[in-house]
Amino acid sequence: MRLGVLDIGSNTVHMLAADVHPGGRPLATTSDRSVLRLMRYLTDDGSISDEGVRALEAAVSQARRVAEEERVDALLATATSAVRDARNGAEVIARIEAALGQPLQVLDGETEAELTFLAVRRWFGWSAGQLLLLDIGGGSLEIAAGGDELPDAAASVPLGAGRMTVQFLPNDPPGEDDVDRLRAHATSTLAEVLPRFEALPRPDHVVGSSKAIRSLARLAGYPMPGWSGIQRMVLPREALGSWIPRLARIPASARQELPGITADRTFQIVAAAVSLHTAMTALRVDELEVSPWALREGVLLRYIEQLGQQPTT
């Protein structure tokens, strides 16, 4: 069976097609991405502007065409922080569904964290023991922890890279005072969810699973041998912290010259680094490992599980 997962996030609209079967590993066949940075289209009252919705419709229509060309048997369409938090979310969802020609599943923050945790657990395996997950997107930061496939604690906080750039780092490059204000805001926001995780056992592995974290790991981290020859990236908190002042002094146009920083991440990478570093500090994390699997793979895995549980006739 060939499935497609459409992830409508705050930064990109990403369609992943993969061949799957119950009990097997998803094998990706096609990946199609449109960079939107929806936070640019937020109005003063928190709505997505009509220009932003039209950009969404165009990106979704493009993803639908690719899914049809790939002859997917089902398209699993999900939306996360930018759509669920928009003041005009109901209208935006209706227009996306019209462009898709099918219903859209809007994930709440904890479900997003749980599905990403499932993907990370499957990638690292049961022998990894207790996992702590950090996933930072354009609109929100997800945290999840536990020893099973479902986390014992999961939380989503509005500390995404795009949202924080718009709210706290409007200048290019940002000033030192703005970075300090963002760090203080992130610290106070995280304090509300920390008790959920402080009562849990210390993790055997801390994992980061987003494109922003992968970019930061290529910038400030180091590789280590992985399973079956797959290289793993590790991101130390100290190295990440040392890069923040340097990143903040460089204009966005010049950041893509740095290792790992792609053109679509240049504007948001400072906020991503500050939010992630603050979370690592609050959770007393010295370093994290980067997972190649994240939300899209979690959606696929959950769907495959549900297929396997359906009664046969």
List residues bridging with 27 in a β-sheet.
Answer: 19
**CB-CB contact of 246 with 260 (8 Å):** no
List residues bridging with 78 in a β-sheet.
Answer: 7, 105
Helices (H), the chain: 50-69, 81-85, 89-100, 109-124, 161-168, 176-191, 194-198, 211-220, 237-249, 252-255, 269-282, 295-309
238 CB burial (10 A radius; 0-12, 13-18, 19+) = exposed
Amino acid, res. 173:
P
- Residue 235 is inside which H or E element, if any? strand 232-236
The angle formed by the CA atoms of residues 278, 265 and 155, to the nearest 5 degrees, is: 40
Lookup result for tokens 């920083």: 261
Distance CA 219, CA 259 (A): 5
pLDDT at 49: 96
Lookup result for tokens 């604690």: 153
Distance CA 33, CA 312 (A): 36
Distance CA 141, CA 158 (A): 6
Q: What is the DSSP string of 240-265?
A: HHHHHHHHHHS-HHHHTTSTT--GGG
Give buried/exposed letters for 213-231 (b at 16+ CB in 10 A, else e): bbbbbbbbbeeeeeeeeee
Tokens at 183, concatenated? 């760090």
Q: Where are the domains of the chain?
A: 2-106, 109-293
Does 109-293 match 2-106 at the fold level?
yes
Q: How many helices (H) and strands (E) does the chain have?
A: 12, 12
Identify the DSSP state of 188: H
CATH of 2-106, one of 3.30.420.40, 3.20.20.150, 3.60.20.10, 3.20.20.70: 3.30.420.40
pLDDT at 203: 98
pTM of structure: 0.94
Amino acid, res. 20:
V
Reading phi first (left if > 0) and then psi (alpha if -120 to 50, else beta), residue 312 is in beta
Distance CA 82, CA 214 (A): 21
Per-residue pLDDT of the chain (313 residues), as tens digits, is: 999 999 999 889 999 999 998 878 889 999 999 999 898 899 999 999 999 999 999 999 999 999 999 999 999 999 999 999 999 999 999 999 999 999 999 999 999 999 999 999 999 999 999 999 999 999 999 999 999 999 999 999 999 999 999 999 999 999 999 999 999 999 999 999 999 999 999 999 999 999 999 999 999 999 987 655 567 899 999 999 999 999 999 999 999 999 999 888 899 999 999 999 999 999 999 999 999 999 999 999 999 888 767 655 5
HSE, side-chain direction, 13 A CA sphere, residue 33: 10
Which CATH class, in words, describes the domain spanning 109-293? Answer: alpha beta
Query: Rounded to the nearest 5°, which phi and psi values hold at 132?
Result: -125, 125
Residues 6+ apart with CB under 8 A from 297: 26, 119, 122, 123
pLDDT at 243: 98
HSE, side-chain direction, 13 A CA sphere, residue 125: 3
